[in-house]
Chain A
């Protein structure tokens, strides 16, 4: 600073009469300090970029494989002696056969497939060979039979999930060495998997089920998907958008354009800024007390999650909207009022449309923040194992659901190492959603932005 305030002649006046092209000591010093500042800036930015690259690459390396999944194609004979003992096709009796009753069918189909392809491995009995197939498979079969009871007695081709450890083998997570030590898989089973892959019985496909399937228990990580979590997140975002945008915009218009400037409005303003900085878990406690205990809304429901996140997002939206309204030049208001518009007309016809890009940007950023929030959901019972899809809205808002960040948290606490991959995959999906929202915010701003 002192460099600017002192005159160019300096204290000793040595500069007078010298060439401008020759740098004197002080100019050199000033230039050097600028260079240092720039260097520090570059270093700061590169540290940030390196951290980001490290984070993203570790997530991508762990998670990219969750988008591929190993399947085993088997021709399963739907044995009427097992599934429809009475032989009368009575659906109620067929439904009595539990998934435990379907497991032997798969074991038989597996035996047949091994024989057919000459893939037999020494020291591997039929039960061990059937362990290559996910425990989800009997449930798939049962669902199919209950939907198509007329297929009983026929041989149907199924594409069944391979067990988590087999899937891990083709993704490099499980090796022959680790299988030696692992009590859940043996090297012989991996050898069989290799042979089946050569025979084309075992394929690796794109994992659509990861986006549509519900969560699965600890014994079948290969079947776990994000379906319920994505739906729950979408429902909550809908509620947050529908509640916080009108509420927030109306509140800010009133505060900015109509409210008198007095002690009360000052107090409200301070409180809004304060709320924006309150830790999100506090909103969860509030939600539990008000929405569940007093209002009697159900546990684990997106409606409660949405309401809690609305409270959390409101301050962000109000602050952004007020800033956007403030940025509209007073000349617009004056001109509108000057040609006889009422105060309300001037606001709704002229100021609000001009402030819209800023409002939308603020809203989307607020939503993105709410999308990634876990802490308040912990207290209202959404951090849970939910397998049932919520119904379509509006009833679905009251059904239990999970949320994307909650699913990430849930999967990281599971014992089976296959869930690490799933959790990273879920993070990627969450990041993609966030990127899309932020890009939308930028595009809206670009498209509607106006300069004066």
Chain B
């Protein structure tokens, strides 16, 4: 009876899993979905050109990746965490408590955040103040802090197009949202004077004032997108008035559907972000568990390949895909070669 055979194979599998001390021979990476495309481009090229197997790259978010990195040392934990924001002290503490003491911080380059709308719609020229006025829950008008009254962009500034305000911003679980809040909403808050007004109401507490600035309106004109940029694109496609927040590389892949807005008069591009003219950008990182460097074959080679001029340099495939290459790449290469672990957070 086949039943007997099935049982036998079950036992076989159980026996194999009992002896599951199989050495892992490929690098395991997890983390930010913003870094994922770059990591997979490097992993693919690495697998093609080296004798090591292609690393496995998981997405799942920057925070989740760092947490996984800090789960401990051993082959059933990951080796590298991709992250679109800097590691936090709480992560370092968690790592330390699990025996992960030496972590190397590798900055791979910069990523721009762009504001884009439907290709057939009007073009916009924004300032951070415009975005604060459009999306914040409370804005300054006539010297007073009031609930956001604006419905059209041209009510905020007469030279903006007469379009309804509708923005698709990344949800709070995204690393992109942090940068958006910090570099656009809070900066705009300071420009319009709302920051000082908030500060006055909370007795000069800077932290609380910043939080109050980041409070977005909830009347349906600012919509949080918890999915990926593809979802934002679909929403902009369905609502021609909508303006979406995208990563530069995503926009560069969809220039036939989207028109990009300038911020503070600067057009976002790899060049303008590299020079620092375009204000909304952030560094991208990956964090390496140094204890695994001599255990997992190919790990050191992968890291060195990632930051090599061939890949991460200004003419490499990562830059072609939209990564703004780091002017201090040589320093990073040296650090990777020396395996210098990161110091305390400043």
Interface residues of A, Cβ cutoff 8 Å to B: 95, 98-100, 135, 139, 142, 174, 178-179, 181-184, 216-220, 239, 241-243, 245-247, 249, 292-293, 295-300, 303, 378, 381, 383-388, 394-395, 397-398, 400, 410, 412-417
B28 touches A415 (CB 8 A): no
What's the Cα separation between A95 and B76 when bound, in Å? 31
Chain A contacts for B99, CB-based, 8 A: none
Range, interface on chain B: 35 or more
What's the Cα separation between A148 and B186 when bound, in Å? 60
Q: Looking across the interface, which residue of chain B has its beta carbon closest to that of A179?
A: B256
15 contacts between A and B (CB under 8 A): A142-B49, A216-B44, A242-B6, A292-B76, A297-B17, A298-B24, A303-B13, A303-B20, A383-B58, A398-B20, A412-B230, A413-B59, A413-B227, A415-B249, A417-B257
Chain A contacts for B76, CB-based, 8 A: 292-293, 296-299
What's the Cα separation between A398 and B10 when bound, in Å? 16
What's the Cα separation between A303 and B18 when bound, in Å? 12
What's the Cα separation between A216 and B59 when bound, in Å? 15
Q: Looking across the interface, which residue of chain B has its beta carbon closest to that of A181?
A: B256
What's the Cα separation between A388 and B58 when bound, in Å? 14
Nearest Cβ on chain B to A415's Cβ, whole angstroms: 4
Known pairs A99-B45, A298-B20, A394-B16. 8 more at Cβ < 8 A?
A218-B41, A219-B317, A249-B3, A293-B71, A378-B60, A384-B58, A388-B53, A394-B12
Chain B contacts for A292, CB-based, 8 A: 76
A217 touches B22 (CB 8 A): no
B10 touches A246 (CB 8 A): yes
A218 touches B37 (CB 8 A): yes
Q: Looking across the interface, which residue of chain A has its beta carbon closest to that of B17?
A: A303
What's the Cα separation between A98 and B305 when bound, in Å? 12
Chain A contacts for B317, CB-based, 8 A: 135, 219
B13 touches A183 (CB 8 A): no
**Chain B 229-266, CB within 8 Å of chain A: the 1/0 string?**
11000000000000000010110111111000000000
What's the Cα separation between A249 and B250 when bound, in Å? 50
Chain B contacts for A135, CB-based, 8 A: 317
Q: Which of A245, A293, A386 has the most CB of B within 10 A?
A: A386
What's the Cα separation between A417 and B250 when bound, in Å? 10
The answer, yes or no, to whether B119 is at the interface (CB within 8 Å) is yes
Interface residues of B, Cβ cutoff 8 Å to A: 3, 6-7, 9-10, 12-13, 16-17, 20, 22, 24, 26, 28, 30, 33, 36-37, 39-41, 43-45, 47-49, 51, 53-54, 56-60, 71, 74-76, 78, 119, 227-230, 247, 249-250, 252-257, 310, 317, 320-321
B37 touches A415 (CB 8 A): yes
B44 touches A242 (CB 8 A): no
Complex partner residue of A381 from B22, B28, B39, B51, CB under 8 angstroms: B28
Complex partner residue of A413 from B12, B230, B310, CB under 8 angstroms: B230
Chain A contacts for B229, CB-based, 8 A: 415
A99 touches B56 (CB 8 A): no
A385 touches B33 (CB 8 A): no
8 closest A-B pairs by beta carbon, nearest first, are: A384-B58, A178-B256, A387-B54, A385-B57, A217-B40, A218-B37, A182-B256, A413-B228
Nearest Cβ on chain A to B27's Cβ, whole angstroms: 10
Nearest Cβ on chain B to A169's Cβ, whole angstroms: 12
What's the Cα separation between A181 and B256 when bound, in Å? 5
Complex partner residue of A139 from B48, B249, B257, CB under 8 angstroms: B48
Given contacts A298-B22, A298-B24, whether A217 and B119 have CB atoms under 8 Å apart is no
Complex partner residue of A397 from B16, B26, B255, CB under 8 angstroms: B16
Nearest Cβ on chain A to B311's Cβ, whole angstroms: 10
Given contacts A243-B10, A246-B10, whether A400 and B26 have CB atoms under 8 Å apart is yes
Q: Which of B13, B53, B254 has the most CB of A within 10 A?
A: B13
Given contacts A243-B13, A299-B78, whether A385 and B36 have CB atoms under 8 Å apart is yes
Complex partner residue of B40 from A218, A293, A303, A398, CB under 8 angstroms: A218
Given contacts A181-B119, A300-B56, A385-B57, whether A416 and B253 have CB atoms under 8 Å apart is yes
Chain A contacts for B75, CB-based, 8 A: 298
Nearest Cβ on chain A to B60's Cβ, whole angstroms: 7
B28 touches A217 (CB 8 A): no
Nearest Cβ on chain B to A255's Cβ, whole angstroms: 17
Nearest Cβ on chain A to B68's Cβ, whole angstroms: 8
What's the Cα separation between A449 and B224 when bound, in Å? 53
What's the Cα separation between A447 and B49 when bound, in Å? 53
Given contacts A183-B252, A216-B44, A303-B17, whether A246 and B6 have CB atoms under 8 Å apart is yes
Chain A contacts for B56, CB-based, 8 A: 299-300, 381, 384-386, 388, 400
B40 touches A394 (CB 8 A): no
Nearest Cβ on chain B to A246's Cβ, whole angstroms: 5
Nearest Cβ on chain B to A362's Cβ, whole angstroms: 15
B40 touches A99 (CB 8 A): no
Complex partner residue of A297 from B20, B36, B250, CB under 8 angstroms: B20
Complex partner residue of B253 from A95, A181, A300, A415, CB under 8 angstroms: A415
B253 touches A142 (CB 8 A): no
What's the Cα separation between A181 and B255 when bound, in Å? 6
Nearest Cβ on chain B to A82's Cβ, whole angstroms: 15
A217 touches B41 (CB 8 A): yes
Q: Looking across the interface, which residue of chain B has its beta carbon closest to that of A420?
A: B230
A414 touches B310 (CB 8 A): no
What's the Cα separation between A182 and B321 when bound, in Å? 14
Nearest Cβ on chain B to A406's Cβ, whole angstroms: 10
Chain A contacts for B26, CB-based, 8 A: 388, 400
Given contacts A397-B16, A413-B230, A414-B230, whether A218 and B321 have CB atoms under 8 Å apart is yes
What's the Cα separation between A247 and B320 when bound, in Å? 53
What's the Cα separation between A218 and B254 when bound, in Å? 13
Chain A contacts for B45, CB-based, 8 A: 99
What's the Cα separation between A298 and B3 when bound, in Å? 29
Chain A contacts for B310, CB-based, 8 A: 98, 100
A300 touches B230 (CB 8 A): no
Nearest Cβ on chain A to B239's Cβ, whole angstroms: 19
Q: Which of B7, B74, B253 has the most CB of A within 10 A?
A: B253
Q: Which of B16, B48, B252 has the most CB of A within 10 A?
A: B48
What's the Cα separation between A298 and B228 when bound, in Å? 28
Given contacts A217-B37, A217-B41, whether A388 and B255 have CB atoms under 8 Å apart is no
Nearest Cβ on chain A to B297's Cβ, whole angstroms: 13
Chain A contacts for B7, CB-based, 8 A: 246
What's the Cα separation between A246 and B229 when bound, in Å? 45
Chain B contacts for A247, CB-based, 8 A: 10
Given contacts A99-B45, A217-B40, whether A381 and B16 have CB atoms under 8 Å apart is no
Nearest Cβ on chain B to A186's Cβ, whole angstroms: 12
What's the Cα separation between A416 and B253 when bound, in Å? 6
Q: Looking across the interface, which residue of chain A has its beta carbon closest to that of B28?
A: A299
